Amino acid sequence: MALLERVSTLVRANLNDLVDKAEHPEKMIKQVILDMQNQLLQVKTQVAIAIADQHLLEKRQKENEDKVAEWMRKAELSVDKKQDDLARAALQRVESYRDLSQGFSEQVIDQKAQVENLKTALRQLERKLTEAQAKADLLIAQHRRARAVGKASDAKMASGNGSSANAFERMKRKVAHAEAHSQAKSEIAADDVEERLAALEKEDRIEQLLADLKTKRGA
């Protein structure tokens, strides 16, 4: 998520280094604080949206679980009435709603993780903003003293090291992207076979469910 990446960049920022490297430290520190405030508002909004989405997914999961129970009752009734065709049809619905329920369950897990990530980012950014606001005047004063004693050269060296680290990170991202692309191609090639096998497995499950249900109902 681009928002979390921007927040991460702000949280990792070394305020002392930023002030040391700035041509106009007063303007720079004010801009950093403004950026943090803007990102904080965006993260708060995203947390609220993510929580609402989580509740919606949990509701859909519950609805499909209720459908599973409803169609299982209909399958049992069909078996009691010696209506195997109706029982099969009902069990197919059971399997469909069960699959949907499982899908929503997985989405709920993912959404909860996303909510926690956003909450963590929010807390980190709030701490960083508080730090920046508290240290603003001090950082500017330190910067002025650093220039007075010739520390500008040290700041340039630190900037160079950062550039090397950034180049290394870009290379790592390129390698990771290439690996992900290769994996995606492999997964796509396997999709057709997996879908055919899944259809066969589902048909077997329906027949097994019918047989178990008939045994349970004494049919």
- Give the pLDDT of the chain (219 residues) as one tens digit per residue: 577 777 777 777 676 676 667 667 777 778 888 888 898 999 999 999 999 999 999 999 999 999 999 999 999 999 999 999 999 999 999 999 999 999 999 999 999 999 999 999 889 888 888 888 887 777 777 667 766 766 555 545 555 555 555 655 676 676 566 565 556 555 555 555 667 777 788 888 888 888 888 888 876
- The per-residue pLDDT for 60 is 96
Per residue in 150-172, pLDDT (tens digit) is 655 554 555 555 555 565 567 66
Report the alpha-carbon distance of residue 168 to residue 181 in Å, rounded. Answer: 20
Q: Which domain holds residue 38?
A: 2-217
**Phi first, then psi: what are they for 149, rounded to 5°?**
-105, 10
Q: Is the pTM of this model over 0.75?
A: no
Contact indicator for 26, 140 with CB cutoff of 8 Å:
yes
When divided into structural domains, the chain yields a total of 1
Report the alpha-carbon distance of residue 64 to residue 51 in Å, rounded. Answer: 20
